[in-house]
Structure 1
Amino acid sequence: MNKVYAPLIDSHIHLDQYDDPKIEQMIRSLADLNIQSLISVAMNLSSCQRTEQLAQRYPSIVQPAYGYHPEQPLPDAQELQTLLLWIEQRIDRLVAVGEIGLPYYRRLEAIDRGELLDEQGYQDVLSALLQLAARYDKPVILHAVYEDAAIACDLLEQYGITKAHFHWFKGYPETIQRMIHNGYFISFTPDIQYEQEIQQLAAVYPAHLVMVETDGPWPFEGSFAEQMTHPMMTADVCREWAKIQGLTEKEARQILYQNTLSFYT
């Protein structure tokens, strides 16, 4: 990649879910790929702890975010309090509280099994993490799609949080307009190449509120099938987004870089 282009930042990756040899190889490749850094999100306390170790091992490249991913069983009260305290003790060393949100896909799976999910319990966990972020004026990284996104917006407004990043977002037109009005960011993954719903969103969401991500190690289809998800795929996302927006790749990279830099600093 020509270094006259702005670098890219992978705004959402689960780096802790790769094994150490893959991480080492990945990190070594970033400079040649003109990728500046990775926003490494966590899923629970053990994930947070490994992410912290990676941030210490690769300072300035790995930018840690700590949270509790909603697509897993609810933590009990003690587990949640332990996590909140752990995050609070490191609040000056994280770039955001995340990944946090609501269990859209877990709820669908429960419905398929004829079971009920404790939706209020998940909202309570999200509220606790949002309150922590609000107390220290930290950005939040959200997993909240479709009807869950409207609930997340309610809570963000309730706690006065304005710096919100909805990763890999999918949602309804009224929620999209609400998010735009509130200045919330979204990010696109490699599926922008082949998912019509995502392409339609990319055409209407304002360029100044957009970032790129991989959500690695989540695998993708199309030209990415059977490939290990790697931050270098952000360049493919950028090129596709540029095409949709009618921008040159150089223009798109500059916008995406400045957006991510301003959100996370």
Structure 2
Amino acid sequence: MLGAGKLGGMLIDSHAHLDSYDDLDSVLTRARDEGIGTILAIGIGDGPETMHQALAIAKSHVGGPRIFASVGIHPQEAGKATGEALGDLARIARDPLCVAIGEIGLDYYHFDNPDIATQKAAFIAQLKIASEMRKPILIHCRTSELAKPEAKAKYGDADAWEDLLAILAEHWPAANGGIMHCFSGTPEQGVRSIEAGFYLSFAGNLTYPKSDGIRQAAMAAPADRILVETDAPFLAPIPYRGQRNEPALVTHTAGLLATLRGLTPEALAELTTANFHRLFPTTLDAPVR
């Protein structure tokens, strides 16, 4: 068995890159067998030209788990956020199965990423579309603090978290909502994110030995603002760290989060599922197709 045990079909993987799998049918079968009821497929592709793939999966998949999609231009691809690409994004976002815009945000970790001004412009443009579409957003935020020296030299003293929160304060009212995907910030950044109207979604790195700050944030967050995810195929939780991740393994992250918060796995599954449906109400009664 891959996961930590079935949880009555209640668990939701709030962030998985399903278009990364050549064996998707097998991946989804294992997810279903582990009690994963819903997956949010992330529509960034390998860039704007393939950001439609997650919605295509959501529209074509038949049987459990239920699949919904997002669409967005990742900050690493911000230089491709042309008028045409943003128009394609808006068109994809109109589909009812596309429930969010993302993952979008800022990434100062890799030297090859676009410059800060380009990333900010692409981020703000997508915030505008999300606001017009009344869709929540999925945030990617990665600082240069732990990056290689060349990336630190490129981005200097700039802080992706501070830049991100400043943009959100100006362009994204808290009532619009969204998710801090794969939350990896400090407890204080978690508090500020929640004050800005966001949910914190915890991925496999919650289980890593050096993730004390993330675990502190996970324990401190209000019960109605926590979610779980895989970020599959990345960030497999212990004991699968270093291997390919997949939605079935979200049970491990959920199990640790339950322990940290003094809950049973079943209670944690019920809680995070209710939180997901509150943020994405159109997913609540959507039938399995």
Which structure: greater helix fraction?
Answer: 1
Q: Which residue does 2:67 correspond to in 1?
A: 62
Q: Is this contact kept in 2: 1:169–1:187, CA < 8 A?
A: yes
**Cα distance, 1:95 vs. partner?**
0.6
Equivalent residues in 2 for 1:210-225 (5 A)? 210-220=226-236, 222-225=238-241
Aligned pairs (5 A) from 1:220-239: 220=236, 222-239=238-255
Counterpart contact for 2:204–2:253, Cα < 8 Å: yes
Match of residue 201 from structure 2: 187
Distance 1:53 1:257 in 2: 24
Aligned pair in 2 of structure 1 residues 247, 173: CA closer, same or farther (>3 Å)? closer
SS in 2 for 1:39: strand
Counterpart Cα distance in 1 of 2:236 and 2:33: 23
The residue type equivalent to 2:30 in the other structure is S
Counterpart position of 1:177: 191
Alignment partner, residue 16 of structure 2? 13
For residues 211 and 190 of structure 1, do their structure 2 counterparts lie closer, same or farther at Cα, with a shift above 3 Å needed?
same
Aligned to 1:113: none
* 1:6–1:250 Cα contact (<8 Å) kept: no
Deviations 1:103-135 (A, max 9, x none): 1212xx36xxxxx95201110000000011011
Equivalent-residue separation in structure 1 for 2:186 and 2:265 (angstroms): 29
Equivalent residue letter for 1:12: H
After TM superposition, list the pairs within 5 Å mapping 1:1-265 onto structure 2.
Answer: 1=5, 5=8, 7-19=10-22, 22-43=23-44, 44-58=47-61, 61-72=66-77, 74-75=79-80, 80-93=82-95, 94-106=98-110, 109=111, 118-145=115-142, 147-161=159-173, 162-194=176-208, 195-220=211-236, 222-265=238-281
Structure 2 distance, partners of 1:57, 1:136, is: 23
Q: What is the one-letter code of the residue matched to 2:180?
A: F
- Any conservation in 1 of the 2:180–2:193 contact (CA below 8 Å)? no
Q: Output the amino acid matched with 1:15.
A: L
Letter paired with 2:120: Q
Structure 1 vs Structure 2 CA RMSD: 2.2
Tell me the number of residue pairs that the alignment of Structure 1 and Structure 2 aligns. 252
Q: Deviations over 1:57-79 (max 9, x none)?
A: 1167221100011134622xxx5
**1:226, distance to aligned residue in structure 2 (A):** 4.6
Cα 1:2–1:27 shift into 2, 3 Å: closer
- Which ranges of structure 1 fall in alignment gaps of 5 or more residues? 111-115
Q: Deviations over 1:38-68 (max 9, x none)?
A: 1111222233122232122116722110001
Higher deviation after alignment, 145-154 or 211-220: 145-154
SS of match in other structure, 2:227: strand
Report if the CA contact (8 A) 1:42-1:69 is conserved.
no
Counterparts in 2 of 1:163 and 1:242: CA distance versus 1, 3 Å: same
Counterparts of 1:62 and 1:36 in 2: how far apart (Å)? 9
- Per the normalisation by structure 2, the TM-score is 0.80
Identity %: 25
The answer on whether the counterparts of 1:70 and 1:100 sit within 8 Å (CA) in structure 2 is yes
Regions of 4+ moved over 6 Å? none
Q: Distance in 2 between matches of 1:263 and 1:138?
A: 10
Distance 2:238 2:252 in 1: 12
Q: Indicate how the Cα distance of structure 1 residues 56 and 103 shifts in structure 2: closer, same or farther if over 3 A, else same.
A: same
Whether the 8 Å CA contact 2:12–2:273 is kept in 1: the answer is: yes
How far the C-alpha of 1:225 sits from its partner, in A, is 3.0
Alpha-carbon distance in structure 2 between the residues aligned to 1:204 and 1:57:
39
Runs of at least 5 residues in structure 2 that lack an aligned partner in the other structure: 144-158, 282-289
Q: CA deviation at 1:251?
A: 1.2
> What residue identity is the alignment partner of 2:220?
V
* Cα displacement (A) at 1:140: 0.3
